[in-house]
Structure 1
Amino acid sequence: MSQTDQEQKCISCGIRIAGTNAASFACPECGHEIHRCATCRKQSNLYQCPDCGFTGP
């Protein structure tokens, strides 16, 4: 999977987030860019950073 494809998907559920009310932020541990959809954020679904393994709500 290319870097562009990964950037367009929610890290928690995997849906494409282009054109949605998604959030993008840096991993608190390593700075890797994380993308999450509005549903996963609202439900506080867990995510795991693919670079360092940090897990957050």
Structure 2
Amino acid sequence: MSESQQHATRQCVSCGINISGTNAARFKCPDCGNLIFRCSTCRKQSNLYECDDCGFTGP
């Protein structure tokens, strides 16, 4: 997915909510470098996430 497409579809990778304009985290996947977005609720609850590109999972 291109960076422009990721900006258009900013969704939490854990719960799927639209995170545009919220206090969300943005970071690169430790394995492949794909950009990952997580909402503050999923971060606080340590919900699992999975990278869409490589399948890496993390807390």
User: One fold, TM greater than 0.5?
Assistant: yes
**1:15 maps to what in 2?**
17
Within a 5 Å distance, the mapping from 1:37-52 to structure 2 comes to 37-52=39-54
Deviation at 1:29, TM superposition (A): 0.3
- Identity score, percent: 70
TM-score (norm 2): 0.86
Cα distance in 2 between the residues matched to 1:28 and 1:34: 10
Query: One-letter code of the match for 1:32?
Result: N
- Tell me how large the CA RMSD over aligned residues is: 0.6
TM-score (norm 1): 0.89
Deviations 1:1-32 (A, max 9, x none): xx322xx1000000000111000000000000
Cα distance in 2 between the residues matched to 1:15 and 1:50: 16
Unaligned runs of 5+ residues in structure 1 are none
